[in-house]
Amino acid sequence: MADLIPIIVATIAVFVLITLFLGKLFRTYRFFNLIPSFIAFCIAVYNMYIARNMPLDDPEGLARGLIATILLIGALSGAVTAVVFDRLIPFLAQRNR
Residuewise pLDDT in 10s, the chain (97 residues): 678 899 999 999 999 999 999 988 888 887 888 999 999 999 999 999 999 998 888 899 999 999 999 999 999 999 999 988 888 777 778 877 7
pLDDT for residue 50: 94
pLDDT for residue 66: 93
Distances (CA, A) of 27 to 13, 32, 80: 21, 9, 17
Per the structure, the complete domain to which residue 77 belongs is given by 4-95
pTM for this prediction:
0.85
The residues, ordered by sequence, that sit 6+ positions from 34 with a Cβ below 8 Å of its Cβ are 19, 78, 79, 82
pLDDT for residue 6: 92
Q: How many structural domains are present in the chain?
A: 1
pLDDT for residue 73: 96
pLDDT for residue 31: 84
